[in-house]
Amino acid sequence: MTDRIILLFLVAFLAACHPANEVSNQPQLPLKPGTWRMNLTVDDTFIPIRFEVDSALTITWVNSDERIPVTDISLLGDSLFFSMPRFNSDFSGTLLNDSRFTGMWNNKARQDYQIPFEAFYVSSEPASNTLNTETEHYEVWFSPGTDDEYKAVGLFQYEGSEVHGTFLTETGDYRYLQGTLANDQLLLSCFDGSHLFGFTGTMRGDSIVNGEFRSGKHWKEPWVAVRNSQYQLTHPDSLTHVVHEDQPLEFQVLTMSGDPMVINPDLLKGKVTIIQIFGSWCPNCYDENVFYKELSDAYSNHGLQIIPVAFEKSDDFTVNAMSIEKQFAEIGINYPPYLGGKASKSEASAKFPMLDEVISFPTSLFIDKDGTIRKVHTGFYGPGTGSYYETYCKDTRRFIEMLLAEAPLASI
């Protein structure tokens, strides 16, 4: 009997020491797996966004066919905290039960910027993906009839009550939008960690009226639209121009260590160069960074170099550097970024006086092996724009290959 007791003790001890019984360092979220909705309250209304909780109890944001997984999650008692991977923002909340939690979204890229939310379980089914239906094209006016009016192209897909799409402006797009159309009321939204977009409007035949666009809690404007498959915006290569061709392409930046560095013509000789004016807070810039990483992987060994110059929102260099490095690490970019100054179009314009004006983040200068600016591309149409994105990527690769094939004038 004594031997049997000793044997049982040893079995229990070994079982307790087995790796399967080790406590995981990852928090186990007491949330129902499936599709969730979060309503962020802005003024007297709310902007709805979507996320999924999977069987491993992790969180993934859903914007149409875009998925943004969250890995930085903390859980202490009924307090839940998670940080967005691409941009400098996070969520802090209180669990009410396995189907609901409330709290605040904290956008650290803006000073004292918080928006309250309520999140609740919707379904065990995964969220909808991109719709396989024909895309309807709209001519759009934002802030119509005012001095601030500007045009856009609306691209929408309808299937039942589901709507997916985006808006293209002359300086970029509003990325992946998803929502509903019920009783002629249109609702579209998206969230990527930096921007919270919400669009509402009323369908009237081929028109959309009484539209309202909200960007977080800091921006609101009206919009209207009418179906028009022929409407086109000004080409992005025709918005910003080189006005002082004799102006040397020379300017000072800071490295991510805080050291001053001068970008000058000597660094450009014999290379095809893209100087990218961007911000780590800018979703269109994020999309462009993903594409530029692909370009670097494909052409850096053939003579392409990319010099990203960031214009950031914080007055704290450390905060700016961390935001930039966080995004580059998330994308997997291995070429170095630099800090150019504050997130201001006027400050960016002053840094590049050979241009008439920097009107958008991002803006890219394409430079040949002789250091001549051959093209300036304003804004970026990301993958949410479908054929617009695919055409731009194809044309840009072709242009880079042409520049790489050219011999420098000095060698002729």
Residues 267 and 401 in one domain: yes
Both 400 and 265 in one domain: the answer is yes
**Measured distance CA(337)–CA(325) in Å, rounded:** 8
Calpha distance 8→374 (Å, rounded): 79
201 and 254 in a single domain? The answer is: no
Check which CATH number belongs to the domain holding 331 and give it.
3.40.30.10
Going by their DSSP bridges, the two strands 272-278 and 304-312 should be labelled as parallel
DSSP per-residue letters across 121-154: EEESSPPP----SPPEEEEEEESTTSTT-EEEEE
Mean pLDDT calculated for residue range 270-274: 97
Last residue of a domain, one of 199, 227, 255: 227
Model confidence at 259: pLDDT above 90: yes
Exposure pattern of 352-367 as b/e (b: 16+ CB <10 Å)?
A: bebbebbbbbbbbbbb
**Residue 178 is encoded by which pair of tokens?**
């998803």
CA distance 203 to 58: 37
Give CA–CA dist 25/236, Å, rounded.
48
In whole angstroms, what is the distance from residue 393 CA to residue 380 CA? 10
**Amino acid letter for position 331:** I
Under 8 Å between Cβ of 163 and 130: no
Residues 376 and 265 reside in one and the same domain:
yes
Alpha-carbon 47 to chain mean position: 18
* 176 and 72 belong to one structural domain: no
Name the one residue in this structure whose structure tokens are 């009206």: 222
In a domain? residue 21:
no
Tokens coding 171: 């300086």
Between the alpha carbon of residue 142 and those of residues 48, 155, 197, 221, the distances in Å are: 21, 15, 14, 7
Q: What are phi and psi of 325, to 5 degrees?
A: -65, -35
Tell whether 245 and 305 lie within a shared domain: yes
Tell me, yes or no, whether 289 and 312 share the same domain.
Answer: yes
- pLDDT reported for residue 370: 95
Q: What is the DSSP string of 339-408?
A: EEEES-HHHHHHH-TTBS---SSSEEEEE-TTS-EEEEEES---GGGTHHHHHHHHHHHHHHHHHHHSPP
Position with higher pLDDT, 155 vs 88: 155
Do 240 and 347 have their domain in common?
A: yes
Closest CA to 95 of 71, 60, 120: 120
Counted domains in the chain: 3
Give the CATH number, domain containing residue 105.
2.40.128.20
Report the predicted TM-score, pTM, of the whole model to 2 decimal places: 0.88
Query: 385 and 347 in one domain?
Result: yes
Q: What pLDDT score does 58 carry?
A: 86
Note the pLDDT of residue 27: 57
CATH number at residue 194: 2.40.128.120
CA distances from 160 to 47, 132, 225 (A): 21, 12, 21
The b/e string for 165-190 (b: 16+ C-beta within 10 A; e otherwise) is bbbbbbbbbbbbbbbebeeeebbbbb
Of the listed ranges 56-70, 267-281, 342-356, the one predicted with least confidence: 56-70
pLDDT at residue 21 is higher than 80: no
Q: Domain range spanning residue 163?
A: 136-227
Q: Which residues of 112-143 are buried (b: 16+ CB within 10 A; e: fewer)?
A: eeebebbbebeeeeebbeebeeebbbbbbbbe
Mean pLDDT score, 46-56: 92
Q: Given a cut of 80, is residue 126 above it in pLDDT?
A: no
User: How much is the pLDDT for 398?
Assistant: 98
Are 116 and 97 in a shared domain? Answer: yes
In this prediction, what percent of the chain has a pLDDT beyond 70? 92
**Token representation of residue 352:** 């590049």
| Residue 71 forms part of a structural domain | yes
pLDDT at 304 over 80: yes
pLDDT score of 248 more than 90: no
| Residues of the chain above pLDDT 90, percent | 83
Same domain, 250 and 179: no
Q: What pLDDT is recorded for position 30?
A: 85
> Of 227, 258, 285, which marks where a domain is finished?
227
Which pLDDT score is estimated for 57? Answer: 72
So what's the pLDDT on residue 410?
A: 65
Q: Are residues 374 and 247 in the same domain?
A: yes
User: Residues 142, 148, 151, 154: what is their CA dihedral angle, to the nearest 10 degrees?
Assistant: -20
